[in-house]
């Protein structure tokens, strides 16, 4: 278990608001306060004007929803080839389309992409990653060590460790796949570090045995960002895993139940570590389902477990281990 660093006040940081919305935002430059727009559907790339991210994972249920990130402070934006960014004085959002065609092996494309985005955030003075999202075409394609998720983990690890990140600095993350082509990586980075948490019921992903791939996944179970106005806990993708083992093969019901238990346990653990007496509750969710046939059942279960009011996006995605049928991540406002 990694003990959190002391929670420091991050000065004048203003939080980011995350909303699921169907409003139309074409040109970010004419929308003050918009840091990024995350679109869901078959496309997977980063578009101009800067900030339009397309994840490649289709929505289930509500076809026109997107995710918009906003902040109160003035925003500067730019792009450079496959990379885009938007920033305030306090927070940096960066995204990169993965360029596979140039590389003989997928892992090399990933190492290069991660090196580029990590070098970029370092140069910007925001080397501390709060959260990173990874969406990759064909994540389960290939067998044993050449499965693309394992190659992804290899490439990411090489870049993270090569750029000087210690395991305890690995941020919260998710890594999902889709049926199309292309891949994107996008992240939130800051000048001061967030606080990372592990889940005592799950082995730290960076300690997973090599059966899961020659390099273990480089992520924390959750990262706390301390802004001026509030604290936000970013949950990593959470699935039906106990210790390091996938549980309940071919059983969506049981996988969903264990996933919820893992989230509840993590929230309880974080509250204990922070000395919070109140019960932490999720504020927004993304629910990734491997098969759209699960949607009707899981939709009901999600609202039952997390409450009718919670904003949820249901998405069709491949989860990084073939046997996993559901994964949930999200945000908890403290
Ligand atoms: C797991 O717990 C499930 O490789 O970035 C969840 C969150 C998972 C992030 C990643 C993988 C990642 O191992 C998979």
In terms of pLDDT, which residue wins out, 62 or 209?
A: 209
Residue 153 CA: nearest ligand 1 atom is 4
Residue linked to tokens 């934006």: 77
Residue 152 CA: nearest ligand 1 atom is 4
What is the structure's pLDDT at 11?
47
Q: For residues 189 and 129, is the Cβ–Cβ distance under 8 A?
A: yes
Ligand 1: which residues within 6 Å by Cβ? Answer: 134, 173-175, 205, 217, 219, 236-237, 239, 241, 320
Residue 48 has pLDDT above 80, yes or no: no
Report the mean per-residue pLDDT for the chain: 93
Probe residue for ligand 1, chosen from 174, 202, 261, 290 as the CB with the greatest number of ligand atoms within 8 Å: 174
Residue linked to tokens 């509500």: 62
Going by CA atoms, what residue is nearest to atom 6 of ligand 1? 237
Q: What is the pTM of this model?
A: 0.95
Residue 219 CA: nearest ligand 1 atom is 5
Please report how many Cα atoms fall inside a 13 Å half-sphere around the Cα of residue 263, on the Cβ side: 30
Ligand 1 centroid–CA 103 distance in Å is: 24
CA nearest neighbour of 262 among 254, 250, 251 = 254
CA–chain centroid gap for 225, Å, is 14
Domains of the chain and any CATH numbers: 17-333 (3.30.1330.40)
Tell me the pLDDT band of 260, cut-offs 50, 70 and 90: very high
Residue 212 CA: nearest ligand 1 atom is 13
How far is the C-alpha of 232 from the C-alpha of 6, rounded, in Å?
A: 16
What is the structure's pLDDT at 157?
98
Residue 236 CA: nearest ligand 1 atom is 7
Average pLDDT of the segment spanning 133-162: 96
Tell me the pLDDT band of 30, cut-offs 50, 70 and 90: low
Q: For residues 66 and 43, is the Cβ–Cβ distance under 8 A?
A: no
Going by CA atoms, what residue is nearest to atom 9 of ligand 1? 174
Ligand 1 centroid–CA 75 distance in Å is: 31
Ligand 1 centroid–CA 136 distance in Å is: 13
Both tokens of 237, joined, read 């993708």
Residue 104 has pLDDT above 90, yes or no: yes
Residue linked to tokens 């169907």: 22
Ligand 1 centroid–CA 301 distance in Å is: 22
Tell me the pLDDT band of 255, cut-offs 50, 70 and 90: very high
Probe residue for ligand 1, chosen from 203, 207, 219, 259 as the CB with the greatest number of ligand atoms within 8 Å: 219
Residue 10 has pLDDT above 80, yes or no: no
- Per-residue pLDDT tens over the stretch 285-299: 999 999 999 999 999
């Amino acid at each position: 278990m990694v003990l959190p660093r002391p929670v420091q006040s991050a000065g004048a940081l203003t939080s980011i608001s995350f909303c699921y919305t169907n409003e139309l935002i074409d040109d970010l430059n004419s929308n003050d306060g918009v840091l990024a727009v995350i679109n869901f559907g078959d496309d997977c790339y980063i578009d101009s004007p800067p900030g339009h991210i397309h994840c490649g994972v289709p929505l289930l249920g509500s076809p026109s929803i997107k995710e918009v990130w906003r902040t109160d402070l003035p925003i500067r934006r730019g792009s450079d080839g496959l990379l885009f960014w938007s920033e305030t004085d306090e927070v940096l959002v960066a995204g990169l389309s993965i360029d596979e065609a140039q590389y003989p092996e997928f892992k090399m494309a990933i190492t290069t992409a991660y090196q580029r985005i990590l070098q970029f955030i370092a140069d910007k003075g925001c080397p501390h990653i709060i959260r990173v999202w990874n969406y990759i075409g064909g994540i389960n394609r290939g067998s044993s060590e050449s499965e693309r998720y394992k190659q992804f983990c290899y490439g990411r690890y090489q870049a993270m460790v090569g750029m000087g990140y210690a395991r305890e600095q690995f941020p919260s993350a998710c890594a999902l796949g889709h049926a199309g082509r292309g891949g994107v990586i996008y992240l939130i980075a800051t000048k001061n570090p967030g606080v990372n948490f592990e889940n005592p019921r799950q082995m730290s992903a960076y300690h997973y045995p090599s059966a899961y791939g020659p390099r273990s996944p480089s992520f924390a179970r959750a990262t706390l960002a301390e802004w001026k106005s509030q604290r936000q806990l970013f949950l990593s993708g959470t699935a039906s895993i106990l210790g390091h083992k996938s549980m309940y093969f071919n059983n969506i019901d049981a996988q969903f139940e264990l996933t919820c238990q893992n989230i509840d346990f993590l929230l309880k653990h974080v509250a204990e570590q922070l000395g919070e007496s109140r019960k932490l509750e999720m504020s927004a969710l993304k629910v990734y389902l491997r098969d759209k046939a699960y949607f009707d059942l899981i939709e009901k279960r999600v609202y039952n477990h997390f409450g009718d009011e919670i904003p949820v996006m249901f998405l069709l995605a491949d989860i990084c281990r073939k046997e996993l049928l559901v994964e949930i991540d999200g945000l908890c406002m403290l």
